[in-house]
A and B are shown apart, each in its own frame.
Chain A
Amino acid sequence: MTTQLELADIQGNILTAYGKLGFPHGRFLLLHVDKPQAGRTFVELLRRRVTTALRWPSDRKPNPPGKIYQRRPEVALNISFTFWGLLALQVPIRTLRGLPDEFIDGMAARADILCDNFPRPIKESWDPVWNVDGGSDGAVHILVTLNAQMNADGTPVAALEDITREISALCDATEGGVRLLHGHRNPDPAWQDLSALMATQPDGTRQPLPTEHFGFVDAIGDPVFEGQKPDEPNAAIGQGKLLADQSWVPLATGEFLLGHPDESQEIACAAMPLDFSRNGTFVAYRKLHQNVAAWNASMAKLAQQFAAVMDVPEAEAEETLKAKMAGRWRDGTTLIAAPDFATWQALREKRLAAEKANDHATLAALNRALVDFTFVDDQTGAKCPIGAHLRRANTRDMLDPHLTSANKAERNGSVLNNRRRILRRGLPYGAHDGGADDSGEHGIVLLATCANLFRQFEFVQQQWMQYGLDFNAGNDTCPIVGNHGAEAKFVIPADPASGKPPFFCGGLPQFVETRGGEYFFTPSLTALRMIATGVVDPT
């Protein structure tokens, strides 16, 4: 018997990314609870609106009449809590003491571990709404995320505004019991607006793009775990875990949902009662500002050097540099599939031709190649540099100590990676206008979702993004999201057979900075009921 998840008990933003389901707009609201009873009433009124993981039938194939099914919402609503929020809602101390240290600390207290006090301390760089200490008045207690469908002209559906007004009115009705927190650096400081980047079609309509502000197609790789996609037997290929025999299977459910066995084959300790934790998870909210102008300028400058050293045209040099840093070309093609510019161009043409000819088999194979790869044949990083973002974020089989072993039976697959995976949710925010400096608002809000923030999110952030020891790369940080001090560098190894030298990218400016964030607990619908009705019973 495989894992059967109770979809109606799990919040809908855990199992899937709304952006991929036709919700290109988002609005994230933060609330503070002053009066416990008012807070619980607020949660009680909102919880019936929470979007669960139940699947809705596609618009093309309406469900047969007479059958109960989940309608596709115009706006998906989800709700999460900080530690201080749960305390304000009077969740019993005996339950709260079972919550993990890093969650109780909160993200601001972990700023040094997460390397967030760079290039400026978070007290200066974060949006004011995030810079209120946990126990103080105005601290973040509740996160309500709204993910909205869009109209043909690219604007969010009217329901987004309606629900926002409703939530605002709910707060007003509590007469100060629950407050909508202001202090987002956003056109309206009362919330954070998000939107996929858009392209205008020939007919004037707008089409959401899968790219982020640096121009890369984003959100390709995402872990697949047991019970998440029961209808897609091949979903785990390249996205789950790699076994010693080089086959792929889904990761253990407990890596992403509390109360289920995890990769160490145990149900980890959690806040009691088990119903409070089960089917819930933790989320690291990260507002990541992208220095687009600095990125463009730096790439153009490095491309000149790269073009001269490698004797290639500058345009090709710039594309290649970006790909070497990310591990993928702009359109998502991996460096493992296309190690050089010419191969990438050939693959792009192949994709275009297949799209034109409606050749589903070729397209499926190309899409499969976006995620189905390992690093065993690229141990020197000649194709994809060892320090590239892709290899740091998901090391796959790279850290297997027996990777080089001639005896394949000795190999361990992705065992050292399986407990360091995070589900990536979120959307870009701000205008993509390529401004002259980086003082504007443009970036991405990442919701890193996992069962253990310390072991999964914080480890990847600190050890893999902001350090290089596991990759024999010394103090080098991630070339894209890492902190870049005065001596920051990124090494692009060369294939020894090519006769070309390796290339050093020196003088990297800071490309990504945090502008705010917090750790949240996303409870199950059962736990939400217990919190809202004040009946969490830890005994």
Chain B
Amino acid sequence: MPDFDGGHYFLTALIPVRTDPCQDPRSTESITSHTHALREVLASLPTALQSPATERIGVNSPFARCGRTHFARLAVLDDVAFNGRAQRDPIWATLRSALKRPYPPTDTVDNLPCPYLIVVADFDADDGEPETMEAWARDLFGMMEPEWRAILEHCHGYERVTGAAGFARLLRTCQVETTMPFNDYWSVAPPFKPLDLLRTLAPALVGLVMLLLGGLLWIFNGAPFWRYLTQIGIVVLPAGLVWAWWVVMREGRKPFPTAPRSDLQSVLKALYLQQQFTRFAITSQGMGPAALHASFGSFLATHQPGNPVLPTQPRGVVKS
């Protein structure tokens, strides 16, 4: 279930964009397309504060209002890209021509029925249940309803967004599986339990032994017992292989455990503490034990390492 991994939900949704003409929201004179208008809305959405210069401006991404969202991205997908003609083997092409089944002169160029708005986000979650995603979406809508309305009015299904619940349902309807989540918070390998290969393959091995042993003795001995054993082996071997396959896939589907302190609140506090502690190290180097003790006491009192809530780095400020 790659939508959920390592204590984070990775949402991907593709919301179809309307293709009918659209009144330009910035001018009564001109008519434009929803795709164009949507792109203007997206382009004017503030991004996170990624540099000292943007920190001074202070106009932050609306997603920073949400205390669970690590990362969010909105983009317009116009169409699928044609990947070029498929490779053709000249020998095979000649053979096909000789058999009057030549390659078609052109490859099919596929297209999407309409542009799509891509919504990608990852956020803290306890599980990968659909209701968990919907709960996050309802929260988020409450925090940035005007922005979502400005975006979604250009999409199909906007009429269903009557409120937070409608927004969450629209996302769920348009959700596609995230097949490659990027989980960056494990700095070391998570505690894995390696698969016991012998145990997994044991039924298949038993089937193989039955098949071989039974088969050989049946040929040389001819007793019906060996024939039955062979026939059972024929059934047990593939069944065992299927079971092993199922076990491997079941284990593979299990999400990574949550990395320690990888929720947004803890990550922000860690970034804050890292910067403050560096400054503390610079100012306190060379102090005597008593002064260092007093200084560190004051550091603890001011920055409260045990308190994840405050003081901390503001959300949406990318700084370390």
Chain A positions near chain B (C-beta within 8 angstroms): 305, 308-309, 474-475, 485, 487, 489, 501, 503-504, 506
Contacts and interface: CB of A to CB of B under 8 A. Distances in A.
Contacts of B279: 487
B281 A504 contact: yes
Chain B contact-residue range equals: under 10
Contacts of B320: 474-475
Given A474-B320, A475-B320, A503 B278 contact: no
A506 B273 CA distance: 18
A489 B285 CA distance: 13
Interface in B237-265: none
A475 to B, nearest CB: 7
With a 10 A CB-CB cut-off, give which of B279, B285, B320 has the most chain A CB atoms. Answer: B285
Contacts of A485: 52
B290 to A, nearest CB: 16
Contact of A309 (B52, B278, B283, B285): B285
Nearest to A308: B286
Nearest to A503: B285
B282 interface: yes
B3 to A, nearest CB: 30
Interface in B184-235: none
A173 B278 CA distance: 63
Given A308-B286, A309-B285, A474-B320, 16 more contacts: A305-B285, A305-B286, A309-B286, A475-B320, A485-B52, A487-B279, A489-B278, A489-B282, A501-B285, A503-B285, A504-B278, A504-B281, A504-B282, A504-B285, A506-B282, A506-B283
A501 B287 CA distance: 12
With a 10 A CB-CB cut-off, give which of B278, B279, B283 has the most chain A CB atoms. Answer: B278
A506 B282 CA distance: 6
A167 to B, nearest CB: 44
Interface string B103-120: 000000000000000000
A455 B282 CA distance: 35
A481 to B, nearest CB: 21
A294 to B, nearest CB: 19
A308 B284 CA distance: 12
Nearest to B283: A506
A112 to B, nearest CB: 11
Contacts of A506: 282-283
B270 to A, nearest CB: 13
A503 B286 CA distance: 9
Contacts of B282: 489, 504, 506
A501 B282 CA distance: 12
A225 B232 CA distance: 70
Interface in B41-93: 52
A412 B195 CA distance: 32
A525 B281 CA distance: 57
A410 B151 CA distance: 51
A474 B319 CA distance: 10
Contacts of B283: 506
Contacts of A504: 278, 281-282, 285
Interface of B: 52, 278-279, 281-283, 285-286, 320
B278 to A, nearest CB: 7
Q: Looking at chain B's contact residues, is the secondary structure mostly helix, strand, loop, or mixed?
A: helix
A475 B286 CA distance: 24
Contacts of A489: 278, 282
A358 to B, nearest CB: 46
A49 B281 CA distance: 59
Q: Which 3 A-B pairs have CB atoms at the shortest separation, nearest pair first?
A: A506-B282, A309-B286, A504-B282
Nearest to B281: A504
Contacts of B285: 305, 309, 501, 503-504
A324 to B, nearest CB: 15
Contacts of A305: 285-286
A272 B160 CA distance: 59
Contacts of B52: 485
With a 10 A CB-CB cut-off, give which of B52, B279, B281 has the most chain A CB atoms. Answer: B281
5 contacts: A305-B285, A308-B286, A309-B285, A504-B285, A506-B282
A504 B283 CA distance: 9
B94 to A, nearest CB: 33
A304 to B, nearest CB: 9
Contacts of A475: 320
A504 B287 CA distance: 13
A419 B156 CA distance: 49
A474 B282 CA distance: 16
A309 B287 CA distance: 8
Contacts of A501: 285
Contacts of B281: 504
A487 B281 CA distance: 13
A200 to B, nearest CB: 41
Nearest to B275: A487
Contacts of A503: 285
A386 to B, nearest CB: 15
A195 to B, nearest CB: 39
Contacts of A474: 320
Contacts of B286: 305, 308-309
A504 B285 CA distance: 8
A504 B282 CA distance: 6
A503 B281 CA distance: 9
Nearest to B284: A504
A485 B53 CA distance: 13
Nearest to B274: A474
B234 to A, nearest CB: 44
B153 to A, nearest CB: 37
A501 B286 CA distance: 10
Contacts of A308: 286
Nearest to B320: A474
Contacts of A487: 279
B277 to A, nearest CB: 11
B220 to A, nearest CB: 50
Nearest to A486: B52
A308 B287 CA distance: 9
Nearest to A489: B282
Nearest to A309: B286
Nearest to A487: B279
A503 to B, nearest CB: 7
Nearest to A485: B52
A488 to B, nearest CB: 11
A530 B281 CA distance: 61
A494 to B, nearest CB: 11
A462 to B, nearest CB: 14
A487 B282 CA distance: 10
A348 B224 CA distance: 93
B116 to A, nearest CB: 32
